A and B are shown apart, each in its own frame.
Chain A
Amino acid sequence: MRDLMFVEAAREGLAEEMARDPRIFVIGEGIGARGGNFNTTTGLFERYGPMRLRDAPIAERGFTALCTGAAAAGARPVVDFMFIDFLSDAFGDLFNQTAKLQWMSGGRIKMPIVLRGCVGVWPGNGAHHSGNYYPFFVHIPGFRVVVPTTPADAKGLLKTALRCDDPVLFLEHKGVLTLRGPVPDGEHLVPFGQAAVRRSGKDLTIFAIAFMVHRALEAAEILAQEGIEAEVIDPRTLAPLDIETVLASVHKTGRLLVVDEDFAPCGMAAEVAVQVMERGFDDLDAPVRRLTGLPVPAPYSPALFEPVTPGAMAIALAARELLAE
């Protein structure tokens, strides 16, 4: 075990897979000699050169579709899009081509493409650099959606993504990029569709997404001081979604709080709530509770920012209310 920063661990995973598979190439703005806005590719250009570390023009639609064509023709592209907001010009081709080519071709075309970059509402980032947007991709058949929260998972899930023949959205919340944590030595792969129970508890289940896992763990500390034992579940991947782990937890606790900084309507929190209602209704002692971000574009001013996403205190409050029902 070593102690690595999230971005270092992810980069180690990318470097290992690039060494293993010459079909992998990365494309994005400033990911060549510069090493990426978030140091996603630092040191790799010197090793692999421009064909595998391709600095792109600001043409997200174009290079995402280019990578889709390249994946169909035998390459294994990584689109390093920096902020998911920048990917929005490519949504049409992602939904119509990237997600559908395998199905349309009856499985004869494979689509091994990884789309990685930042998501999340973050101080000072404003309305055009704070998108989450993962529900769009979870909604469309064909995508895998990964939301890593620890350095070990950053490496292990990215390596799995790079070996996957499906299009994978690998979404790195800005709140986790600089976190440090233990990363196993040697080969380390984390499978998709296996949630992690980050903290065990018997009183209620908190299902939290991406950076909200860390906020939920803070809230669980606060609750523990009051004698409330919260179980915190990190789904790790939203598609596939490991609902079994959630159901098993709810069977034990009888109460579910879903924490998602993204918007509530048609979002992940609604999806998790309804799946638990469909399959775990008899285990529920209270209605599933959602705690989500405010349905507004992300503001810039610190004064406006504070109420937009759930903090640890808000999560603890929601947990207490849920336990009182």
Chain B
Amino acid sequence: MAEDATDFVPGQLAVDEWLALYRTMLLIRRTEERLVKLYAAGKIVGACHTYIGEEAVAAGVCAHLRPDDVVFSTHRGHGHALAKGVPPHEIIAELLGRATGCSGGRGGSMHLFKPEIGFMGSSGIVGPSITLAAGGGYAAKLLGSDRVSVAFFGDGAVNNGAFHEGLTMAAAWDLPVLFVCENNLYATEVPFAEVSRNPSVADRGRAYGMPGVEVDGNDVLAVHAAAGEAIARARAGQGPTLLECKTYRTRAHAEGMRDIGYRSPQEVAAWRERCPIQRFQQVLSAAGVAADALEALDAEVRSLVEEAAAFAEASPWPEPSTVTRYVYSQE
């Protein structure tokens, strides 16, 4: 690998940081490709919403986060969890309903938790990630820490009241929060354009008195740069930012669902051409990173994911009698 690769690419990132971003995206993609197969094999007992096509957003944002920063995620949350550091073993095991899953089999895809490293949950309800993250920011400020709080949400949540209330309060009180809208153009299968007269989400930032930034969500360096600036502002006590990442999910809303009637195959194909991983691979190659190095990284990730899947499939089921535990704190 070219040690002087940075010389070829504008920006401040060192080559190991690029490769870390690339690896995170690959880890998300390969894990989800494995989940797709497990779903097809009937081994995933509930919903599975893939993030395929949107990996640059989670990778670019979470690269700036520390383990004590908190992330509140969505129903499409595998990518956020992996980028925040939840091991693929625990995610696959969770979707298989096993005791070794990151939520002990209690939640599945939409209820992934690893609060020890600040992953505060994916969610089956659209909207609350925004207001909960505002609360994560409130706690950080109250406790006098420089932690930040991140909300991931889709364009669908923008039209939910939680968006209005969460952004209103975060801005009013200068909370250290990054609101990351993954605008993949469809709220489930309803086009955002059909239910929003203003097509820009970033534009709405102004209405709440906070910066609104739009980036190409399939360009990991663009996401990384914009998120870095916003998170630095938040850590410095300068308040929240709304970051709109224009992106696209190239698979159906959820595995097993029909993907017709609301978008054209041509549109999907065009977005597949804009795959964030392939695009970044081209950037890395142009920067002089050897193809061998990228292939080696992919091989390492594939092997990790295979190991994770094997671990998950060999894992025990949770003990049925434990289902009543933790309804209350002292149990």
Q: Note whether A and B form a binding pair.
A: yes
Q: Identify the A interface with B (CB < 8 A).
A: 23, 25, 51-52, 54, 56-57, 59, 61-63, 65-75, 77, 92-93, 96-97, 101-111, 141-142, 144, 164-166
Residue from B136, B165, B328 within 8 A of A62 (CB atoms): B165
A59→B165 contact, CB < 8 A = yes
| Contact between A106 and B104, CB atoms less than 8 A apart | yes
The segment from B17-25, B107-115, B260-268 that touches chain A is: B107-115
Q: Mark B164-176, 1 if CB is under 8 A from A, else 0.
A: 1110110011000
Contact A69 B72 (CB under 8 A): yes
Given contacts A25-B142, A65-B132, A65-B162, contact A141 B120 (CB under 8 A): no
Other than the given A75-B138, A109-B113, 17 more pairs (CB < 8 A) read: A23-B142, A25-B138, A25-B142, A56-B169, A59-B168, A66-B166, A67-B138, A69-B131, A69-B136, A72-B120, A72-B136, A73-B120, A75-B139, A77-B135, A104-B121, A107-B325, A166-B329
B233 part of interface (Cβ distance < 8 Å): no
What 4 A-B pairs come out closest when comparing CB atoms? Answer: A69-B135, A62-B165, A69-B132, A65-B131
Would you give the 0/1 interface string for B308-320, flagging 1 where the beta carbon is closer than 8 Å to chain A?
0000000000000
* Residues A73 and B168 in contact, CB atoms below 8 Å apart: no
CB-defined contacts of A107 to chain B, threshold 8 Å: 325-326, 329, 331
Asked, given contacts A23-B143, A142-B328, whether A73 binds B131 with beta carbons under 8 Å apart, the answer is no
Contact A97 B128 (CB under 8 A): yes
B125 within 8 A of A: yes
Taking a contact as CB atoms under 8 Å apart, the answer to whether B326 and A102 are in contact is yes
Residues of chain B from 120 to 135 with CB closer than 8 A to chain A in the complex:
120-121, 123-125, 128, 131-135
B135:A59 contact, CB within 8 angstroms: no
**Looking at the complex, which one of B70, B116, B141, B142 makes contact with A108 (CB distance below 8 Å)?**
B116
Contact of A57 among B142, B149, B172 (CB under 8 A): B172
| 9 sample A-B contacts, Cβ–Cβ < 8 Å, listed by A number | A23-B142, A62-B168, A67-B138, A68-B135, A72-B115, A73-B147, A93-B128, A105-B326, A111-B329
Chain A nearest CB: distance from B236 CB in Å? 17
B272 at the interface (CB under 8 A from A): no
Q: Chain B 226-261 against A: per-residue CB contact (8 Å), 1 yes, 0 no?
A: 000000000000000000000000000000000000
The answer to whether B142 and A92 have CB atoms under 8 Å apart is no
Is there contact, CB below 8 Å, between A69 and B134?
A: yes
A110: which of B125, B169, B329 is its contact (CB, 8 Å)? B329
CA of A150 to CA of B104, assembled, Å: 43
Q: A104-B111, A142-B327 are in contact. Are A71 and B125 (CB under 8 A)?
A: no
Of the residues B103, B143, B161, contact of A75 by C-beta under 8 Å: B143
Report the nearest A residue to B145, measured CB to CB: A74
Counting CB contacts under 8 A, is B34 at the interface? no
Cβ-defined partner of B142 (8 Å) among A70, A72, A110, A165: A70
Flag if A61 contacts B165 (CB, 8 Å). Answer: yes
Q: Is residue B140 contacting chain A, with contact meaning CB distance below 8 A?
A: yes
Q: Are A74 and B327 in contact (CB under 8 A)?
A: no
Q: Is the CB of A109 within 8 A of B128?
A: no
Report the Cα distance A102→B325, complex, angstroms: 10
Q: Taking the nearest CB of chain A, how far is it from the CB of B175, in angstroms?
A: 9
**Docked complex Cα distance between A106 and B328 (Å):** 10
Question: Which residues from chain A contact B330 at a C-beta distance below 8 Å?
Answer: 165
A116 to B133, CA, bound (A): 22
B106 interface residue, CB < 8 Å from A?
yes
Known: A105-B115, A109-B120. A66 touches B326 (CB 8 A): no
Known: A106-B103, A166-B328. A66 touches B121 (CB 8 A): no
Asked whether, in the complex, the Cβ of B132 is within 8 Å of the Cβ of A104, the reply is no
Q: List B contacts of A104 (CB < 8 A).
A: 103, 106-107, 111, 113, 121
- From A71, A110, A142, A166, contact of B135 by CB (8 A): A71
Interface centre among B115, B124, B142 (most CB of A within 10 A): B142
Are A59 and B169 interface neighbours, CB within 8 A?
yes
Q: Which chain B residue shows the least CB distance to A27?
A: B138
B residues less than 8 Å from A108 (CB atoms): 113, 115-116
CB distance from B103 to the nearest CB of A (A): 6
Between B121, B128, B166, B168, the greatest number of chain A beta carbons within 10 A of the residue's beta carbon is seen for B128
Q: Is the CB of B169 within 8 A of A51?
A: no
Minimum Cβ distance to chain B for residue A258 (Å):
25
A74 to B68 CA separation, bound complex (whole angstroms)? 11
Q: Are A66 and B135 in contact (CB under 8 A)?
A: yes
Q: What is the chain B residue whose CB lies nearest that of A164?
A: B329
- Report the separation of the CA atoms of residues A110 and B168 in the bound assembly, to the nearest whole angstrom: 26
Which chain B positions have C-beta within 8 A of A141?
A: 327
Query: Chain B CB within 10 Å — which of A67, A72, A164 has the most?
Result: A72
B135 surroundings in chain A (CB, below 8 A): 65-73, 75, 77
Q: Assess whether B121 is in contact with A62, with CB atoms less than 8 Å apart.
A: no
Q: In the bound complex, what is the Cα–Cα distance between A71 and B166 (angstroms)?
A: 16
Q: How far is the CA of A68 from the CA of B70 in the complex (A)?
A: 13
Given contacts A105-B113, A108-B116, are A57 and B168 in contact (CB under 8 A)?
Answer: yes
Determine if A105 and B139 form an interchain contact, defined as CB atoms under 8 angstroms apart: no
Q: Which residues of A contact B136 (CB under 8 A)?
A: 69-70, 72-73
A66, A93, A142: the one contacting B134 at CB < 8 Å is A66
Max count, chain B CB within 10 A of own CB: residue among A25, A67, A106? A106
- A105 CA / B107 CA spacing, docked (Å): 9
Q: Within the complex, what minimum Cβ distance (angstroms) separates A95 from chain B?
A: 10
Residue of B nearest to A65 (CB): B131
How far apart sit A92 and B126, CA to CA, in the bound complex (Å)? 11
